[in-house]
């Protein structure tokens, strides 16, 4: 099977699902969104229908439509479109995986099921394998997010021998701060050429030094450019400069975390920064408050993160 | 709207979803299952597609079929069929609620969405209200299970003023050991005639004394008769006898809890006790081990819980 | 060794440690406190230097002095004085146990050490045994409070075979809502005549029906009389009346829990109700706010819990 | 006040408290222990009576003796001796702080009290301030370990304005994987010259890149040399080599973590590697099993971590 011409690396934006004021999906802005990511943020890979995209709050049918729209609009513009196909129901996960292959996505990602939880690593692998088997032509990525799922199987143990069970396995999105586990995933699989994508944006630098080959996150939607500058400094071994960028990004994230920061707030910030209307979130989330949005805007300005957009005009200007 | 002739009370069995060896749903035994519950266990109310029924592991389409089969087979035999229609996706929950009304179920129950969690009681009520609105002819029950959902909104606070928002609200399934919260739900709503159904089978007596009007649980599938004896003793104020029954039940549950007791083990025990093949569970669960099943069987015998079934014959005999 | 003439049963007030405004222990009011408990609350057993008494915030030397003062002032007035001698350091626990025996206390209680936690039940029993051995003449009680200690060893498992290791073992203070565990402690030890004291005041009735023989808690300092009325109704099998008392008590506790309720707030309420100055708490606690105290007072009045004290006069009047 | 001539930086070994077979403190080997750390591990700073030293399992009197022995034996050999003086009781903490100053230690460290927990940052600072005030001549370090204490006050918030309250504040031991919090501690205090010591040995490299100026941990007792090699490579910007060292160390820690790794196991490993008898732990811990010790030894050998000691001879040889 011809696997992706390019290994998945660098920044991957976890896409937001734009919605209209009455909570329906707003497909009409996805084209602009693609252009914005590529031109203004320098981000050319996306992770669709994940946590940031409220994937599990959408119906299976909606997830299919959203996936198609991103693949269609991303054609010849984006490098890779990865579809998160995880679900509590195995059959639904398989349906979404098969669909992702049919529409020509570049890979699928699956979270550990988390209501009735797998008791052992082998059971979890069996579940993941069944999903992977529904899309044998696509690279498979495991989405490790123990704080949200409560599934306490270490990623490093899961990866042990995984190619025997899931030959399409190509890497993981590691959304946790346990860098012993992450480091051992890298260390034990160095010859495999897996993608080790880190999912905790606010401390990406700490994972880069531990061997991360890329990152998936919500902040790359609007801080992609700044983060790419950090990646560049890191690759050029200018670690002092890289740390300055990391601190810069941390000042913003630390600020919003203390106000209460979730998917709703991400949508509000993205609307602010990109000028593209992301709309409100779907229940059970509530739209970000006016105070939050104003505070976040003030903070972004004070940190000079808005230099490449002109909010007053509603135009998107390339920044330095 | 004509609400149920009988308020939902007494025991409600959280039904298991029988499966074939290859994991497909085994609709063919549901008729027997209904007869078994009514005749052998004296249980005439059921809660379909809940945790015990692996509801969230099934596809929406499967949940619809399962709901229909129980309503059909339960006609003129069961008192009430309550369908759990909760889901992470609001639209899917609404679809299931509407379907439950169409097929003539007696009520719907909804769990708090738990991946992206509601941040406040008002948001949670908004979510529940949207589901209730899809089945305005049916009584609505809230399924409170904080240990599994991680949603820390107290039931007593949720109930405060809920009739204004959800006029079809009829009660709750309370699956937690916080009897201050449970007690205050009862205390603050005494004139409402709500159903206060307790969901922690192993300590039902402790909730009966706090005003529980019934119970929903997996053990009523195979310990319904024994539990009904406890309820009777309680109603006749023979609390010493009621406690003896409770301890008897606890000895079994305590035993299996220490071996590891989940939905898989419930399926194995039910197969054992009823003689009806429940089959294996769906991934991400794994079939109960041989050692578990043998140990559980030995314990049931030592506690004399199998006197009303004759396993060797495969027949179901009424017991004393 | 002659064990207590009376088994420890009924209500046991977890005593507060009165302090002066500058945080030193106020021994001078302990005599009044004893008289208040006996005459106004009808409570004649106390549990000294527990959580409510800020025991672990005091130095070993202070704990000794406090224990002595309660034993001295309680002589011929109180039935039993139990000293909590638990500590993170085994030697300090042993010193306090030995001291309790020397001053003629009626029993010692020990919490599971909780910073470095025991990994198994056997290790925990070894620790407890070493403390018990320092006071071989005194009844030994285990203080089970998993939510605070994080030690997940079930009480029912601990009790299994404990008399072989700790012959002075006489019962437990069970501060948790897991009534399967509590029930099985009672069920498995019925012939032993242990004291099964429940430690979650707000749902005491639920434990009474499961076989609790008494209760230890902070609310018995100021709601002892009301709770004794509940115990009496329960013993006379008037469960409807008992439930009314329980709900009455719950309305108050539920109210203060929602405002934030800890040892500081308990001190403020006790000062209010008894008229005896309990003073502020020791760091790391902060005195209850004025708003809290005013709200609590208003609630107590609205629930008619202050009918037996006349706050305006500062006198303590017996109530009905 | 003349503060330490050298800022506390680089590696700090969290010392083990050696014990005899019957659990008493074995002061006689502390002299050897100092020499071993300096000569074989190249570690010249120590952190006494912390978690690794079972500090909270010792009596106050024992903690004083242990502190004195380390200061005495470390004179003219060690650079800095920091005494952990944290306790649940403020008075005991103050006594230990004062004692540390009297014996000429180089600094004190304090953990947040964790049974009755401080509700706000200001209360926590008040507590810490009271301890610092008992040793005004000594640098004060905060020991941040939220996973063990359950105190959820972020270190970055605590540091905000701390010099106004605690003028002797000199830095923190950060034992957590939240590198947003850690990074912001560094970022917000760059001009202060605080010591930012990282406490999660297995991922030290990830904290070095975020600005850590040193580390405190149990592994530096026996992996100090190897870790110093990693620090050197990091300082010389050979990040590839630094990562190789980190992975090497991780392979060992990952291995023992999966077998169950706590203070008891640390004692066994140190005995093995150093040849100095550390003895068993104090209750509530249990001596490491024979299987653990054998497995750990085999793993250390396979990773070539024992090249600088000759266990068979019982001699300590300097390695490369």
Model confidence at A319: pLDDT above 80: no
Cβ neighbour number for residue C42 with a 10 Å cutoff: 17
Residues of B in contact with A150 (CB under 8 A): 150
Chain A contact for D156 (CB, 8 A cutoff): yes
Distance CA C70, CA C53 (A): 12
Give the pLDDT band (50/70/90) at residue D1: very low
Model confidence at C161: pLDDT above 90: no
pLDDT of D2 reads 45
Distance CA D296, CA D303 (A): 11
What mean pLDDT do residues B32-45 have? 98
Q: Tens digits of per-residue pLDDT, C83-124?
A: 999 999 999 999 999 999 999 999 999 999 999 999 999 999
pLDDT of B298 reads 96
pLDDT of A311 reads 34
Of A187, A205, A254, the CB nearest to D210: A205
Give the pLDDT band (50/70/90) at residue D8: very high
Classify domain D10-238 at the CATH class level.
alpha beta
Chain C contact for B178 (CB, 8 A cutoff): yes
What mean pLDDT do residues B23-47 have? 98
The verdict on whether residue A266 carries a ligand-binding annotation is no
| Torsion angle of the four alpha carbons C125, C127, C133, C139, in this order, in degrees rounded to the nearest 10 | -60
Model confidence at B310: pLDDT above 90: no
pLDDT of C191 reads 85
Residues 75-114 of A with CB under 8 A from D: none
The verdict on whether residue A40 carries a ligand-binding annotation is no
What mean pLDDT do residues B9-30 have? 97
The verdict on whether residue A201 carries a ligand-binding annotation is yes
Q: From B153, B2, B264, B133, select the one nearest B143 (Cα to Cα).
A: B153
Chain D contact for C133 (CB, 8 A cutoff): no
Model confidence at A7: pLDDT above 50: yes
pLDDT of C253 reads 98
Q: What number is the ipTM of this complex?
A: 0.93
Chain C contact for D50 (CB, 8 A cutoff): no
What are the beta bridge partners of residue B316? B309
pLDDT of B192 reads 86
pLDDT of D6 reads 74
Site of tokens 């902060």: C286
Whether B278 contacts B16, CB under 8 Å: yes
Cβ neighbour number for residue C89 with a 10 Å cutoff: 24
Model confidence at D162: pLDDT above 60: yes
Q: Tens digits of per-residue pLDDT, A147-162?
A: 989 999 999 999 998 9
Give the pLDDT band (50/70/90) at residue A139: very high
Q: From D106, D80, D103, D100, select the one nearest D3 (Cα to Cα).
A: D106
Give the pLDDT band (50/70/90) at residue B63: very high
Q: How far is A316 from chain B (nearest CA, A)?
A: 31
Distance of CA D42 to the CA centre of its chain: 15
Site of tokens 């819980």: B305
Residues of B in contact with A92 (CB under 8 A): 59-60
> With pLDDT > 70 as the criterion, what percentage of chain D qualifies?
94
- In this complex, which chains have at least 3 CB pairs below 8 Å with chain D? A, C
What mean pLDDT do residues C258-285 have? 97
Q: What's the number of CA atoms in the CB half-sphere (13 Å) around residue B204?
A: 37
With an 8 Å Cβ cutoff, are A179 and D239 in contact?
no
- Assess whether C143 carries a catalytic annotation: yes
What mean pLDDT do residues D136-146 have? 97
Of A89, A123, A286, the CB nearest to B56: A89
With an 8 Å Cβ cutoff, are B284 and A112 in contact?
yes
Q: At what angle do helices C290-302 and C239-259 cross, to 10 degrees?
A: 160
Q: Compute the Cα dihedral for A287, A291, A295, A298 and give only its sign.
A: positive
Q: Tens digits of per-residue pLDDT, D190-225?
A: 888 899 999 999 999 999 999 999 999 999 999 999
- Cis omega (within 30 of 0) for bond into A54: no
Total-model pTM: 0.94
Q: How many residues does chain D have?
A: 320
Whether B272 contacts B316, CB under 8 Å: no
Give the pLDDT band (50/70/90) at residue D161: confident
Complete DSSP assignment for chain A: ----SS---EEEEE----B-TTS-B-GGGHHHHHHIIIIII---EEEESSTTTTGGGS-HHHHHHHHHHHHHHHTTT-SEEEEE---SSHHHHHHHHHHHHHTT-SEEEEEPP-SS--SSHHHHHHHHHHHHTT-TTS-EEEEE-HHHH-----HHHHHTTHHHH-TTEEEEEE-SS-HHHHHHHHHHTGGGT-EEEE--GGGHHHHHTTT--EEEESGGGTSHHHHHHHHHHHHTT-HHHHHHHHHHHHHHHHHHHHH--SHHHHHHHHHHHH-S---PPPTTS-PPPHHHHHHHHHHHHHTTTTTTEETTTTEE----
Q: Which residue of C has its CA nearest to D24?
A: C91
pLDDT of C312 reads 33
Structure tokens at B301: 């015998």
pLDDT of B6 reads 74
pLDDT of B305 reads 80
Distance CA A281, CA A265 (A): 9
Q: Which residue of C has its CA nearest to D264?
A: C116
Q: Tens digits of per-residue pLDDT, D262-294?
A: 999 999 999 999 999 999 999 999 999 999 999
Residues of D in contact with C284 (CB under 8 A): 90, 112-113, 116-118, 123-124, 126-127
What mean pLDDT do residues A5-29 have? 94
pLDDT of A305 reads 80
pLDDT of B320 reads 27
Chain B contact for A71 (CB, 8 A cutoff): no
Whether B199 contacts B162, CB under 8 Å: no
Give the pLDDT band (50/70/90) at residue A146: very high
What mean pLDDT do residues D147-157 have? 94
- Assess whether C142 carries a catalytic annotation: no
Q: How far is B177 from chain A (nearest CA, A)?
A: 19
Q: How far is CA C62 from CA A297, C68, C89, C280, in A?
A: 54, 10, 16, 16
Structure tokens at A28: 């009409």
What mean pLDDT do residues C208-214 have? 97
Site of tokens 């991103």: A70
Structure tokens at A136: 């044998």
Q: Which residue of C has its CA nearest to D145?
A: C115
Model confidence at C6: pLDDT above 80: no
pLDDT of A4 reads 52
Distance of CA D231 to the CA centre of its chain: 17
Model confidence at B39: pLDDT above 70: yes
Structure tokens at C217: 């808690």
Q: Which residue of D has its CA nearest to C86?
A: D57
């Amino acid at each position: 099977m011809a696997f992706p011409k390019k290994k998945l690396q660098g920044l991957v934006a976890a896409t937001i699902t734009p919605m209209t004021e009455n909570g329906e999906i707003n497909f009409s802005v996805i084209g602009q969104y693609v252009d914005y990511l590529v031109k203004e943020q320098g981000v050319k890979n996306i992770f669709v229908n994940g946590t940031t995209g409220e994937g599990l709050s959408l119906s299976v049918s909606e997830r299919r439509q959203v996936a198609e729209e991103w693949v269609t609009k991303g054609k010849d513009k984006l490098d890779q479109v990865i579809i998160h196909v995880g679900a509590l129901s195995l059959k639904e996960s398989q349906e979404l995986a098969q669909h992702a292959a049919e529409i020509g996505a570049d890979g699928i990602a699956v979270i550990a099921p988390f209501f009735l939880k797998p008791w052992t690593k082998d059971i979890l692998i069996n579940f993941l394998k069944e999903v992977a088997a529904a899309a044998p032509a696509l690279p498979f990525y495991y989405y490790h997010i123990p704080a949200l799922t409560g599934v306490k199987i270490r990623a490093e143990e899961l990866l042990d021998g995984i190619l025997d069970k899931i030959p399409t396995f190509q890497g993981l999105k590691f959304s946790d701060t346990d860098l012993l586990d992450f480091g051992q995933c890298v260390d034990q699989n160095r010859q495999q050429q897996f993608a080790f994508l880190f999912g905790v944006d606010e401390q990406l630098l700490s994972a880069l030094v531990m061997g991360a080959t890329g990152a998936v996150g919500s902040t790359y939607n609007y801080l992609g450019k700044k983060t790419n500058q950090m990646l560049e400094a890191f690759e050029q071994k200018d670690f002092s400069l890289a740390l300055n960028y990391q601190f810069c990004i941390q000042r913003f994230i630390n600020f919003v975390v203390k106000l209460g920061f979730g998917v709703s707030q991400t949508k509000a910030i993205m609307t602010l920064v990109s000028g593209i209307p992301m709309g409100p979130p779907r229940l059970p989330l509530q739209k970000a408050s006016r105070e939050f949005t104003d505070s976040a805007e003030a903070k972004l300005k004070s940190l000079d993160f808005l230099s490449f957009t002109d909010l007053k005009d509603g135009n998107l200007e390339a920044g330095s």
